[in-house]
């Protein structure tokens, strides 16, 4: 499949379109003759940038030309944008409903990425797909939040921890806490922005710098500009840069912040988590693949040694990322792999490894005991 000319041409053309979006003053690239239109539809959707491409084409001569040459792709991209425009409004209404109930109970909250990116960073809310609500709370509010989510129809996916301390530990060492409800977007509960690796006792910098914006009349609490930029730089690397939309998150966030960006505050966060190499390559790939304006002064301060860059390129298969050929990784391995390769000190990684191993061992022991007890029960009582 890698050597299929139609797929190779589709990857190459999507890569050109993605870079063009960041620099729309340049001429729109022409589709190659060997392009497989069906493959382009699939790739644009899987990389989650079809709505963004549709918006940038606008009502132009270039669109008219592409509608003739690539009718299936242009129609599909337009329909995706219409769908996400409606879905994003539904998500914002859900945020408003949950936030109003939090206010009655005095619960402090933040929303990561989605609404801020869609309404502030991207050119139009319909151009940034949002799959769920990334809701951050304090662990001491966990029982109250569980009650509120149940009030509005949300049900947890799988067994939930008993209290806030267990919930915090679970998000670091097991899996994220997700909730679903009919007709509503899923909710993913967070207690930390950097919610992988060694458990962080607190993130005062996150809450102290929190800000508030109003989108479509809905007040949304979110991290500071620098914290949001830090978050999207880590997020694309956590998912191994496998989706172009993650790199456009980086580009659009930096563009939205503009000249008020506090590079010193940003670098302080980067150094606190010892992830300069990861953030550098997030910026590098956003420049190459998403058309971001080069952040040369910032990248010069972040630039790793040549050997470290080579190790990074090898570990993350950066050549295949650049050619859009890199396969997706199993989701349960993404955060641990990113942490072990790119974040924190060796001692911190050892602490994390011991904690994960201990928790998994306890889970295996509990499961074994449960199976033994079931075997001892009469058949009718099982």
Strand, coil or helix: 180: strand
Is the CB of residue 179 less than 8 Å from the CB of residue 155? yes
What is 278-344 written as a DSSP string? HHHHHHHHHHHHH-PPP-HHHHHHHPPPHHHHHHHHHHHTHHHHHTT-PPPPPHHHHHHHHHHHHSS
pLDDT along the chain (382 residues), means of 10: 83 97 91 94 97 94 92 97 97 97 97 97 97 96 97 94 94 91 96 92 95 97 98 96 97 97 97 96 98 95 96 96 91 87 92 82 67 64 54
What is the model's pLDDT at position 379? 56
Strand partners, 133: 187
Pairing verdict, β 133-137 and 184-190: parallel
What is the rounded distance in angstroms from the CA atom of residue 382 to the CA atom of residue 379? Answer: 6
Dihedral sign computed on CA atoms, order 214, 216, 222, 226: negative
Strand partners, 214: 219
What is 226-276 written as a DSSP string? HHHHHHHHHHHHHTTT--HHHHHHHHHHHHHHGGG--HHHHHHHHHHTT-H
What is the model's pLDDT at position 328? 85
12: left (phi over 0), alpha (psi -120 to 50) or beta: alpha
What is the model's pLDDT at position 372? 66
Pairing verdict, β 133-137 and 177-181: unpaired
Nearest 10 degrees: CA dihedral of 252, 255, 258, 262? 60
Question: Token pair of 315, please?
Answer: 């570990």
Closest CA to 43 of 7, 68, 69, 84: 7
What is the rounded distance in angstroms from the CA atom of residue 32 to the CA atom of residue 186? Answer: 39
Closest CA to 340 of 191, 239, 196, 235: 196
What is the model's pLDDT at position 330? 84
Pairing verdict, β 155-156 and 109-112: unpaired
What is the rounded distance in angstroms from the CA atom of residue 182 to the CA atom of residue 374? Answer: 34
Closest CA to 129 of 52, 187, 236, 43: 52
What is the rounded distance in angstroms from the CA atom of residue 43 to the CA atom of residue 16? Answer: 13
Closest CA to 187 of 178, 195, 196, 174: 178
């Amino acid at each position: 499949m890698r050597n299929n000319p139609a797929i190779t041409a589709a990857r190459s053309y999507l890569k050109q379109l993605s870079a063009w979006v960041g620099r729309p003053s340049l001429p729109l690239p022409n589709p190659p003759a060997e392009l497989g239109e069906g493959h382009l539809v699939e790739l644009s959707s899987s990389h989650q940038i079809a709505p963004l491409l549709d918006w940038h084409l606008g009502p132009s001569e270039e669109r008219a030309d592409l509608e003739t040459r690539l009718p299936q792709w242009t129609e599909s991209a337009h329909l995706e944008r219409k769908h996400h425009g409606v879905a994003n409004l539904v998500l914002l209404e859900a945020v408003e409903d949950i936030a109003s109930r939090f206010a009655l109970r005095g619960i402090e909250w933040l929303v990561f990425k989605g609404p801020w990116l869609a309404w502030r960073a991207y050119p139009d809310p319909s151009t940034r797909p949002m799959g769920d609500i990334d809701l951050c709370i304090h662990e001491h509010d966990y029982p109250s939040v569980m009650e509120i989510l149940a009030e509005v129809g949300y049900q947890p996916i799988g067994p939930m921890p008993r209290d806030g301390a267990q919930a915090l530990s679970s998000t670091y060492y097991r899996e994220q806490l997700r909730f679903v409800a009919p007709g509503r977007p899923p909710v993913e509960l967070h207690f930390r922005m950097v919610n992988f690796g060694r458990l962080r006792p607190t993130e005062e910098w996150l809450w102290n710098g929190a800000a508030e914006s109003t989108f479509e009349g809905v007040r949304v609490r979110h991290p500071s500009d620098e914290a949001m930029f830090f978050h999207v730089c880590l997020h694309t690397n956590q998912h191994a840069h496998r989706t172009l939309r993650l790199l456009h998150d980086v580009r659009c966030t930096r563009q939205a912040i503009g000249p008020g960006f506090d590079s010193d505050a940003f670098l302080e966060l980067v150094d606190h988590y010892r992830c300069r190499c990861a953030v550098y390559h997030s910026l590098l790939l956003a420049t190459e693949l998403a058309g971001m304006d080069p952040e040369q002064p910032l990248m010069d301060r972040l630039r790793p040694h040549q050997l470290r860059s080579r190790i990074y390129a090898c570990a993350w298969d950066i050549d295949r990322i650049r050619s859009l050929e890199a396969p997706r990784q199993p989701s349960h391995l993404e955060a641990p792999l990113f942490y072990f390769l790119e974040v924190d000190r060796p001692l911190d990684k050892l602490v994390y490894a011991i904690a994960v191993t201990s928790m998994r061992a306890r889970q295996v022991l509990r499961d074994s005991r449960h199976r033994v007890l079931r075997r001892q029960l009469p058949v009718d009582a099982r």
